[in-house]
Amino acid sequence: MITRRSLFAAGGGALLLSACETAVTLDGRFPIMDVLGTQSDVSDFRAALRRTELAEMLNGPGPYTVFAPTNLAWAATSQEFRNGGAASLRNFIAGGRLRLPDIRARNNRVRMLSGIDVVLVGGSPNEPRVQAARASAAPSGASASIIRPNLLCSNGVVHILQGALIPT
């Protein structure tokens, strides 16, 4: 028999359990893969990472900087590039926790795990532009706007791009 008291106790328990669930926030408490999971417009890029060992790496201690292209930008890359696995995805990941001021302090240039460079090439303070470049060369690849910079993670930082970084 269900009494009013047992119904109240069950409801209170459910309320207590829901309070224990922690929403992923962008304040540096959660790893990169969790933060990417909060950004619905980069779900295709996140899925590509999950198909490789890079997802495990990005859940590890880091630190890493990820330039994550939106779904629209990711879809605009060639099928060959999207199916390139970890080799292609390394174009979007750098070692270190590099917020925009940190990148500017590095002469506007960051070396990615693939060996290419990403260079700040202008844009506005709210939406700076980055462009891919061969190592130590002038920018020559595709450029993209950073539409959401400096998403802090426990093991790095994420910048959301409206474009893909592929050097020519």
Instruction: State pTM to two decimals.
Output: 0.83
Residue 66 lies in a domain: yes
Domain count, the chain: 1
Q: Which residue range(s) make up the domain with 126?
A: 24-162
Mean pLDDT, range 57-71, rounded to an integer: 94
Over the stretch 83-141, which tens digit does the pLDDT of each residue have? 888 888 999 999 999 999 999 999 999 999 999 899 999 888 888 999 988 877 777 77
Residue 150 lies in a domain: yes
Residue 14 lies in a domain: no
Provide long-range contacts, Cβ within 8 A and 24+ apart, for 55-62: 58/31, 58/32, 58/33, 58/93, 58/155, 58/156, 59/31, 59/32, 59/33, 59/34, 59/155, 60/31, 60/155, 61/155, 62/31, 62/32, 62/97, 62/153, 62/154, 62/155, 62/156
